[in-house]
Amino acid sequence: MALTAAEIETLAGVAQRKLMLSTDQGLSQQGQANSAAFILTRGWAFSYILLHDGSRQIVDFRVAGDFLGLRGLLSPMSDLFIEPLTDVEVTEFQIGELLGAGTKVPRLMSAILAGIARDQAITVEHLVSIGRRGAPERTAHFFLELGARLEEAGQGRKDNYACPLTQYHMADALGLSAIHINRVLRELREDGLLTFRKGEVFIDDYDQLSKLAGFDPGYLRAKTVF
Amino acid sequence: MALTAAEIETLAGVAQRKLMLSTDQGLSQQGQANSAAFILTRGWAFSYILLHDGSRQIVDFRVAGDFLGLRGLLSPMSDLFIEPLTDVEVTEFQIGELLGAGTKVPRLMSAILAGIARDQAITVEHLVSIGRRGAPERTAHFFLELGARLEEAGQGRKDNYACPLTQYHMADALGLSAIHINRVLRELREDGLLTFRKGEVFIDDYDQLSKLAGFDPGYLRAKTVF
DNA sequence: CGCCGACTTGATGCCACTCAAAAATAGTGG
DNA sequence: CCACTATTTTTGAGTGGCATCAAGTCGGCG
């Protein structure tokens, strides 16, 4: 988001410490205890909600550069859990300090708000997918979004990237059953659109897939206010 | 959210002008042109996304006290439209001024962020509903949330409130067809749980309905950071 | 009175779920 | 290195929830 050197220095003054976490260490409660949040610097994580009947809705997969646990600090008793999906590296910071720095450096606050707005836009797009797109379109859209985000984060190419998800993860993110995800993936593969194999995504026909999904990456861009 | 007199005065210094709008006047583009956003002070509005195939996903219904169009200012080319559902009264403000006031009065900034976090929590809850709840549970949850929000806004009781929605609105918000919404409403009515008639909602058995929906209003509360 | 939007109901069909189980892959300890 | 187990992927069969198509009812309004 192109901060100046001075702004990055301010941010560095806030950043607290790097943490390494592995798959079994949830980090939603962790942050809430000491009102800390995180920026994910390496690996994948995901945020989800657990329903009373045991089913799970994954809200988003988080990759390098994304905030983690911001909402938990602004909303009490957040039932939104966050878990690493791979081993991850996060940098922890105090929410108060970050916002304090933001008040001193308006452009920093603007960047924070832009990040929050982007997360909101992503959630809305997921809502649209689940609410109004059929299973193949939804699945296609999912992998296109991931590709765009990963490429932006320097984690691969938008049409070919490593992806540590199981089909159960995809199912819980897309509001489908894992079995049906499997069938949809096969269909997309046989149509020469997308291949998911052994933790790697190959988008075989980017244009056709984008057209199928109605994918427009506009919502992933954020705008600074000041 | 209990601001002090001084804080409210700061807010009043920001507030620009009251506008009256009727059903046919969209207000998403309106705000973006002059980087203004709104607080809805009377009436109902709704935000939605239009898909290429003409279908519509309603993201949220907005009632008195809610922000309108905040995201459009933080995210470029927002494809999120906002429209009045009834005649509405809004107070317009400049986003820059609001945030400027926020930097001077940290508790105000905290309140703004809490509002944003609440909106995010609401969107996530809709995502969960559409992704993992069946049609009756989803519909029940919808009316319970509306009731809670309206009661908080002083617009009725959580178990009995005026509701100017058509079944088409509900369908597009809940990811169902209007026809199926109709059947679900009948079912809920016949089970003595909820009655929707002529623009008014009666929740006949609040506890049973909450249990059916798995409704927990915790996510509607926001927390101040400072 | 005639029209139009919203609501209601019935019939039919498909998309995606569930149940069931085999095959492939990964992880583990001997 | 191999046997053993757990996890993930894959496929089949049957079912059901919700969509779509079709048509009729009700109420408001010009």
pLDDT, tens digit (0-9, with 9 covering 90-100), for A175-222: 999 999 999 999 999 999 999 998 999 999 999 999 999 999 989 987
Contact B215, B156 (CB under 8 A): no
Would you state the pLDDT for residue B129? 97
- pLDDT greater at residue A3 or residue A62: A62
- pLDDT band for B50, please (50, 70, 90 cuts): very high
Q: For residues A148 and A155, give the distance between their C-alpha atoms in angstroms, rounded to a whole number.
A: 10
Encoded amino acid at A102, one letter? G
Chain A residues in contact with B118 by the CB 8 A cut-off are 75
Q: Is A5 exposed, middle or buried (0-12, 13-18, 19+ CB in 10 A)?
A: exposed
Q: Is A43 exposed, middle or buried (0-12, 13-18, 19+ CB in 10 A)?
A: buried
3-state secondary structure chain A: CCCCHHHHHHHHHHCCEEEEECCCCCCHHHHHHCCEEEEEEECCEEEEEECCCCCEEEEEEECCCCEECHHHHHCCCCCEEEEECCCEEEEEEEHHHHHHHHHHCHHHHHHHHHHHHHHHHHHHHHHHHHHHCCHHHHHHHHHHHHHHHHHHCCCCECCEEECCCCHHHHHHHHCCCHHHHHHHHHHHHHCCCEEEECCEEEECCHHHHHHHHCCCHHHHCCCCCC
Would you state the pLDDT for residue A108? 81
Query: Quick check: B74 CB within 7 A of strand C?
Result: no
Token digits for B29? 């583009």
Query: Of B139, B145, B111, which is closest to residue B2 (Cα–Cα)?
Result: B111
Would you state the pLDDT for residue A109? 82
User: What proportion of chain B, given as a percentage, has pLDDT over 90?
Assistant: 60
Q: Is the pLDDT of residue A34 over 70?
A: no
- pLDDT greater at residue B71 or residue A181: A181
User: Within 10 Å of residue B34's Cβ, how many Cβ atoms?
Assistant: 9
pLDDT digits (tens, 9 = 90+) for B193-209: 999 998 999 999 999 99
Contact B141, B127 (CB under 8 A): no
At which residue do the structure tokens 């006031």 appear?
Answer: B101
Would you state the pLDDT for residue A189? 96
- pLDDT greater at residue B12 or residue B134: B134
Write out the H or E segment, with its range, that includes residue B213. Answer: helix B206-213
What mean pLDDT comes out for the span B86-110? Answer: 84
Q: Is the pLDDT of residue B16 over 70?
A: yes
Which amino acid residue lies closest to nucleotide D7, measuring CA to C1'?
A166
Q: Is the pLDDT of residue B30 over 70?
A: no
Token digits for B109? 């900034």
Q: Is the pLDDT of residue A35 over 90?
A: no
- pLDDT greater at residue B35 or residue A43: A43
Token digits for B52? 């290429």
Instruction: Quote the Cα angle for A211-A214-A219, to 5°.
Output: 130
Q: Is the pLDDT of residue B190 over 60?
A: yes
Is B74–A223 a contact, with Cβ atoms under 8 angstroms apart?
yes
Q: For residues A199 and A177, give the distance between their C-alpha atoms in angstroms, rounded to a whole number.
A: 19
Q: Is the pLDDT of residue A71 over 90?
A: no
* Least Cα separation, residue B174 to chain A (angstroms): 7
What mean pLDDT comes out for the span B2-15? Answer: 69
Q: Is the pLDDT of residue B127 over 90?
A: yes
Would you state the pLDDT for residue B223? 64
Q: Is A75 exposed, middle or buried (0-12, 13-18, 19+ CB in 10 A)?
A: buried
Domains in chain B (CATH in brackets) are: 5-105 (2.60.120.10), 120-220 (1.10.10.10)
Provide residues 147-166 of B with CB closer than 7 Å to any strand D atom.
none
| Phi, psi angles (nearest 5°) of residue A129 | -60, -50
Query: Hey, of A75, A141, A223, which one would you mutate to test binding to chain B, going by the most B CBs within 10 A of its CB?
Result: A75
Write out the H or E segment, with its range, that includes residue B40. Answer: strand B36-42
Chain B residues in contact with A106 by the CB 8 A cut-off are 99-100, 103
Query: Quick check: A56 CB within 7 A of strand C?
Result: no
Q: For residues B148 and A189, give the distance between their C-alpha atoms in angstroms, rounded to a whole number.
A: 46
Chain B residues in contact with A130 by the CB 8 A cut-off are 127, 130-131, 175
Q: What 3-state class would DSSP assign to B170?
A: helix
Would you state the pLDDT for residue B9? 72
Query: Of B123, B133, B128, which is closest to residue B212 (Cα–Cα)?
Result: B133
- pLDDT band for B136, please (50, 70, 90 cuts): very high
- For residue B50, what is the nearest residue in chain A, using CA coordinates? A128
What mean pLDDT comes out for the span B138-157? Answer: 96
- pLDDT band for A14, please (50, 70, 90 cuts): confident
Query: Quick check: A185 CB within 7 A of strand D?
Result: yes
What mean pLDDT comes out for the span A137-143? Answer: 98
| Phi, psi angles (nearest 5°) of residue A54 | 95, -10
What mean pLDDT comes out for the span B183-193? Answer: 96
Query: Quick check: B186 CB within 7 A of strand C?
Result: yes
